[in-house]
Amino acid sequence: MTRLSTATRVSALLRRVHAAGGSAMVLARGDAMGGGILVQLVERGADARFVERGIGADGETVLIATGPSDADSQAVDAYWQRRRSYDPDLWVIELDVPDGERFAAETILDA
């Protein structure tokens, strides 16, 4: 089985969200082949939260919540920028679409 590059996954995620009538944009580009993907989910431009691929308690790959909760836009931006300072290969994607977790899970968990 061939593993898709991170750039291909990000491109697919953006296309799927746009096709569903949502908004999606790349806030920061990481390594095209193997960078991680941090997804910032917003609803109508508010209530930002983050999800990313992780390992669940049972050892399975799952989508995990990360980052600040109930934070203002400065704290949200500071979080992902701090993460990028530690991991320049990290992609940061913003999705503004209902049920954004579904789009993120279907695209980044399939590795």
Domains and CATH numbers, the chain: 6-108 (3.40.1530.20)
pLDDT per residue over 58-111, tens digit each? 988 889 999 887 667 788 889 999 999 999 999 999 999 998 999 998 888 765
- Whole-Å CA distances, 73 to 12, 67, 103: 27, 12, 23
Name the residue among 68, 99, 100 with its Cα closest to residue 81.
68
What is the rounded distance in angstroms from the CA atom of residue 72 to the CA atom of residue 35? 27
Chain centroid offset of residue 23 CA: 13
- For 31-53, write each residue's pLDDT tens digit: 999 889 999 998 876 778 899 99
What does pTM read for this prediction?
0.90
Alpha-carbon torsion angle 5, 84, 107, 99, nearest 10 = -170
pLDDT at 21 over 80: yes
